[in-house]
Structure 1
């Protein structure tokens, strides 16, 4: 406390005392015991009030000991059980958690991981994907500013994500991998990878690439074949040696029927093979008649054009043709959707043709758009012309959308640049994205759609959407989120189907190791999303005719059901709404494939590399007796004694206010009791 403050406190004490004595001595020559008590209570009230005005600050310091964290991350996938290491892993976790010396030195935290990281010690080894990179990424966020050595209990066989042992994967804690498995080399033939497109066209051939790998020393031969409906449609005899231990096959297969075609790739196992699961792989391809053709018409060069083309063509069912508005070969009947990028007077003929043909259209309005031309050539909306520009960020409208839109963290995306001014719609419309500036919603659409009996139209009021695609990659390490969003918008616009009160989003087939998720949206009679609906899905196995019914759960702005518990087969499904005669039906396939059962032993090389890169040390699960000793004796993980200083102003001390109130109340009561009031 400063000297000046101390002097103020002393002075306020003197002033409070003089005021109290003056008020009780001005009519009396001497003080009685009662008056002394009254003077004291008055002094306390005055002195406390003056102290609040001065508001001195008191500093305190306390010392505490901060223990480092010990993170135990356990691989919770079925590959651990497949390698028969599950019991050893459970025993190790129990031993670490109950060790008293570790508890004294560390704050223990147990996590499990498969595709996601979970803070839990419930271990069942049922995960279907191993995403070690994601586990490191999430742990780094949690323990970014602390000392947290990490015990990684895993077989090291990652099935998802980028290489977790590479240098770019930053994890700022020492990692101690506990290797579940052995280094024994077994003779094995396997299908390392099978590359095939998701879609193919009727009466055409689609390419297949198969990568086959042999682990062993002797020279062997085997036959690789593709089977469809118990018939071999492709086969090839392959020879392997210790040096020639892989083959890459490239071939084509014919398509005969529209729809999902199931096939099986197989390399005949050797007699002494231990793991025959990785000799088979089921795959499927959806055969379609033709692509959806989309025209993207632009008068300028802009990165947005390339971003739209890449996002749309990520779905192999669609192709994009980039055209100039003056092209004479422009045949509207060839395209299901016309995208007009930043129109001006050069688009006059195209607009006239669009009005005559009632084609579905997607218009992008940016800084180079001629708003006068837009207002003259459309009666659906009018844009205020201010000759000013603004950057608008996006906010998802979850209430009323013409198709299912997932929140892909739009608020983290860069702003779009466009004209400043309000848009007045003359027709009913649905807002997908709202405009915001500095987090404040403008109640103006950034992306809107509307439709009538003849056509559908969408308008995006901003350019530089290529930056959104780049931000999507920064957020998730891929373009999938943004591409899926654009894909759903294009799918809605390219279809001539009328809007339905119940829409369903699903895949034609699912890999056995992936989640089987079906989503649905349910709207009321005004086409506003209804979050009070009761939706159920009935799934019928086409082979056994067994039926199962599941409820769809509300997830934000859509309903969802996870059917990952279903066995691989072909299924029909029907989604119904309770209380209304509304239903949607479909069909999907679940392919038999378990990626976690493709391994024979642990990936020792990568786990050793992780330990080296993070200044840790690797151990085998059968030889972890020195692990606890190494952790206890490592000087990097000693508890740290820290001190913390706190400054508290007197005005925050509630007891002083209570003392003032008590002294005033006591003085009033005693004076009243003695008849002085």
Structure 2
């Protein structure tokens, strides 16, 4: 407390004492004993009020003991049950949860993981895939500034994602893997990998590459087969030994009919094999009778053009050619869609032909675009001519309804370079992305779609799109989400079918370890998205003829049903709008494949390396007592006493107000009782 504040309090006490003395000892009448009591009450009242006016501040000190956190991350994938380790996991967790010294030493946080990390201790061992790297990355975000050793209870078998063995080198927390599963090496033949395109074209041959591996000491013989139902399409005898542990088999098969063909690749198991689940894999090929030809029309070189070509050709149904405006003009009827990149005056005749042939187009305008030309092309919009450039970031429009879209992380994308100025539309348009300029979110369109008579257009008002694709890879370690986003725009533009009130989106086949989702958009009679509808999907198994009704849930601008729990098989389905005679039907296949059952042993090597990289230690399930003892004796994990000092003003002390009120009330009551009022 400051010296001046103490001086003010002393002066307040003197002033309150003088006031009480003046009222009851100089001017006061009656009994001296009563005056002393009344004077004391008056002094308390005056002194309390003056203290509130001075409002001194006091330091309030508290001490807390902060325990280090102990993070339990448990593998909840089906491979744990397949390796017979579920009981060991339950027993290990029970021993940790009931260990008194651990409870006293640590604050224990519990998680499970499979595809995602979940803050839960409920175990079902039914997750279809395992991503250990993502689980560790999520834990790093939560505990990067905290003392928090991580006990990772897993078999170490990861089915997708980055290699956690190498991504752990900069991990800030110590990881203590508890290794589940058998470490003995058995003889095992495995169909390690199948490389096959998802699509093939009618009357062409489609390639299949199979990689077969062998783990064992003895020389063995087996047979590789490729079959469709009961028909064997290809077979080959293979031999392996201690020295020859793998073989790559390459096959080409003819695509003779349109539609989805389900095939099975298998390697005949050895008599002594422990795990026969990894000896075969189902896969599917969708045979289509034509490819979507797309032309990227440009008179300049730009990194966006390469990024667009790579992105569009990630779907094998699309073929992309980069052409000049004159070449596109000559061959315009060969393409189902034209991507017009930064049109300049060399495009003068191009837009006339585009309108004449009723071709759909994606127009990308940037800093080199001739807005004079575009404004005169009568496409349904005009843009201000300023000659200036601005940086703009995207804002996803949740209410966009021309087709189903999802936010792929637009708010974290780097800015595009765009021509400064406003754009005005003379026809109806639908904004997919708005502009964000600096920190200001605007209602100015960045990416729009619109329809002029029978032609569909999309207009992107920015260049450096390659930065978005690169950012997607940095965020997700994959280009998939960006490519899918651009693919949806392409699919919308390449289709000339008339818009329907109920539109469905689904894949022809799904793998058993992936999500199975069917999406739908429902529009009112004015073709405006209607979020008040009740949609359901009626599933029917082709094999058993059994039906199942699943409600479709509203997801932003579309409805969706998650059918991941459906068993493998062929299904017909109908999406219905309850209360209306409106429905759409389709069919798909779910291929039987459980990637979690492909493993025979724990991946000890990677888990040992993970422990080394993070300055932790590794244990096997039977070494749980040693692990607990090491955690308790490790001096890195000692409780910390924290001193917290708060400065509290006296005005926050409610008891002082109560004392003032009590002294006033007591003085008034006693004076009234003694007839002095």
Instruction: Using structure 1 for the length normalisation, give the TM-score.
Output: 0.93
Structure 1 contact 41–666 (Cα < 8 Å) conserved? no
- What is aligned with 1:421? 421
- What is aligned with 2:320? 320
- What is aligned with 1:153? 153
State the 1:625 CA deviation.
2.7
Q: Residues 486 and 328 of structure 1: is their aligned pair in 2 closer, same or farther, counting only changes over 3 Å?
A: closer
State the 1:390 CA deviation.
2.1
Does residue 615 of the first structure (1) align with residue 581 of the second (2)? no
Deviation digits for residues 309-355 of structure 1, max 9, x if unmatched?
11111111112211222337631111111111122222111111112
Q: Equivalent residue of 2:330, what SS?
A: coil
State the 1:131 CA deviation.
0.9
Give the Cα–Cα distance (whole angstroms) in 1 for the partners of residues 393 and 171 of structure 2.
Answer: 33
Which sits farther off after the overlay, 579-588 or 533-542? 579-588
Output aligned runs, 1:9-28, within 5 Å.
9-11=9-11, 13-14=13-14
Q: Equivalent residue of 1:310, what SS?
A: helix
- What is aligned with 1:40? 43
Q: Kindly tell me the number of residue pairs found equivalent between the two proteins.
A: 672
Structure 1 contact 400–528 (Cα < 8 Å) conserved? no
State the 1:200 CA deviation.
0.8
Q: Residues 416 and 16 of structure 1: is their aligned pair in 2 closer, same or farther, counting only changes over 3 Å?
A: farther
- What is aligned with 2:218? 218
Does residue 501 of the first structure (1) align with residue 501 of the second (2)? yes
State the 1:176 CA deviation.
1.8
Which sits farther off after the overlay, 212-221 or 438-447? 438-447
Does residue 94 of the first structure (1) align with residue 94 of the second (2)? yes
Q: Which residues of structure 2 form unaligned runs of 5+? A: none
- What is aligned with 1:640? 640
Structure 2 contact 70–150 (Cα < 8 Å) conserved? yes
Q: Residues 31 and 192 of structure 1: is their aligned pair in 2 closer, same or farther, counting only changes over 3 Å?
A: farther
Give the Cα–Cα distance (whole angstroms) in 2 for the partners of residues 494 and 421 of structure 1.
Answer: 30
Q: Residues 208 and 663 of structure 1: is their aligned pair in 2 closer, same or farther, counting only changes over 3 Å?
A: farther
Structure 2 contact 191–281 (Cα < 8 Å) conserved? yes
Give the Cα–Cα distance (whole angstroms) in 2 for the partners of residues 282 and 599 of structure 1.
Answer: 17
Give the Cα–Cα distance (whole angstroms) in 1 for the partners of residues 667 and 324 of structure 2.
Answer: 92
Give the Cα–Cα distance (whole angstroms) in 1 for the partners of residues 459 and 495 of structure 2.
Answer: 17
Q: Residues 145 and 638 of structure 1: is their aligned pair in 2 closer, same or farther, counting only changes over 3 Å?
A: same
- What is aligned with 2:446? 446
Output aligned runs, 1:245-264, within 5 Å.
245-264=245-264
Q: Equivalent residue of 1:565, what SS?
A: coil
State the 1:18 CA deviation.
6.3
Give the Cα–Cα distance (whole angstroms) in 2 for the partners of residues 532 and 597 of structure 1.
Answer: 43
State the 1:14 CA deviation.
5.0
Does residue 342 of the first structure (1) align with residue 342 of the second (2)? yes
Q: Equivalent residue of 2:121, what SS?
A: coil
Deviation digits for residues 104-140 of structure 1, max 9, x if unmatched?
1111122111111111111111111011111111111
Which sits farther off after the overlay, 384-393 or 631-640? 384-393
Give the Cα–Cα distance (whole angstroms) in 2 for the partners of residues 472 and 445 of structure 1.
Answer: 22
Q: Equivalent residue of 1:470, what SS?
A: helix
Output aligned runs, 1:591-602, within 5 Å.
591-602=591-602
Output aligned runs, 1:253-292, within 5 Å.
253-292=253-292
- What is aligned with 2:192? 192
Structure 1 contact 405–485 (Cα < 8 Å) conserved? yes
Q: Residues 345 and 548 of structure 1: is their aligned pair in 2 closer, same or farther, counting only changes over 3 Å?
A: same
Output aligned runs, 1:358-373, within 5 Å.
358-373=358-373
Output aligned runs, 1:170-249, within 5 Å.
170-249=170-249
Which sits farther off after the overlay, 384-393 or 587-596? 384-393
Structure 1 contact 400–527 (Cα < 8 Å) conserved? no
Deviation digits for residues 286-317 of structure 1, max 9, x if unmatched?
11112111111122222221221111111111
- What is aligned with 2:589? 589
Give the Cα–Cα distance (whole angstroms) in 1 for the partners of residues 461 and 329 of structure 2.
Answer: 29
Which sits farther off after the overlay, 429-438 or 76-85? 429-438
Which sits farther off after the overlay, 520-529 or 184-193? 520-529
Q: Residues 255 and 379 of structure 1: is their aligned pair in 2 closer, same or farther, counting only changes over 3 Å?
A: closer
State the 1:150 CA deviation.
1.6
Does residue 333 of the first structure (1) align with residue 333 of the second (2)? yes
Structure 2 contact 427–452 (Cα < 8 Å) conserved? no
State the 1:656 CA deviation.
5.3
Give the Cα–Cα distance (whole angstroms) in 2 for the partners of residues 152 and 357 of structure 1.
Answer: 62
Instruction: Using structure 2 for the length normalisation, give the TM-score.
Output: 0.93
State the 1:543 CA deviation.
2.0
Q: Which residues of structure 1 form unaligned runs of 5+? A: none
Give the Cα–Cα distance (whole angstroms) in 2 for the partners of residues 243 and 45 of structure 1.
Answer: 94
- What is aligned with 1:50? 53
Give the Cα–Cα distance (whole angstroms) in 1 for the partners of residues 353 and 276 of structure 2.
Answer: 61
